[in-house]
Amino acid sequence: MKIAGFQKLTLLDFPGKVACILFTQGCNFRCPYCQNSGLIGHENEELISEEEIFSYLNKRKGVLDGVVVSGGEPTVQPDLESFMKKIKDMGFLVKLDTNGSNPDLIEKLIKDGVVDYIAMDIKNVLPLYMNVASVKASVDKLKRSIEIIKSSSIDHEFRTTIIKNIHDIDKMKEICSYVGGDKMYLQNFEQSENVLGKNLESFSKEELIEISKIIKGNYPNVKVRGI
């Protein structure tokens, strides 16, 4: 596993759990709002060894509930499943953050019981996905991932980072329609020195509240993070 980042404690990223986060190197999308843009390529030579990760986890048994495997995009890692299985075998829960581009692997991880929670990002309305992913994404694969996750028995969520330059209320309603009654979070964009797009604009708190009220009429499980 190419692990380029390691946050040893989080109380926010694995709902209801005390966890740590691993950030894998490499991603097949190029989203302009990505806060982890340094992980997109494969050029980072300062990787963290699996031995260091497992040594830390061994010392934190009984303290940590779980491990979040994020990125980058974890499903581009060829040894993702075996790595997650090692974590599970140590007695930890595993959460996967994914862009949904690899439905076959997502399905296998669920079937083989190595993942306990999945969070899938839905970047945009499907016909305009390239406007955010910045690469040609397979709409069929994205749809399949959504359905696999929705029909699974494991806990899960969908989420969209919303940006004024890209999203409007109609697009957000359409995105929520893919998820239906499932748990869906809208996350406001936050500008930082790490993001690739320098002219992106966030919604105001008041705008987010109004958006949430409108969407909740049809999709009561939609929430805006941070409000």
The enclosing domain of 36 has a CATH number of: 3.20.20.70
Q: What's residue 65's pLDDT?
A: 98
- Ramachandran sector of residue 209 (left: φ over 0; alpha: ψ -120 to 50; beta: rest): alpha
Contacts of 126 (CB under 8 A, 6+ apart): 139, 142, 143, 178
Domain carrying residue 219: 3-224
Q: What's residue 97's pLDDT?
A: 98
pLDDT at 77 over 80: yes
Q: What's residue 34's pLDDT?
A: 82
pLDDT single digits (tens) 17-29: 999 999 999 999 9
Contacts of 137 (CB under 8 A, 6+ apart): 29, 101, 129, 130
pLDDT band at 160 (very low <50, low <70, confident <90, very high): very high
Q: Averaged over 87-97, what is the pLDDT?
A: 98
pLDDT single digits (tens) 162-206: 999 999 999 999 999 999 999 999 999 887 777 767 788 999 989
The domain total for the chain is 1
Q: What's residue 11's pLDDT?
A: 95
pLDDT band at 33 (very low <50, low <70, confident <90, very high): confident
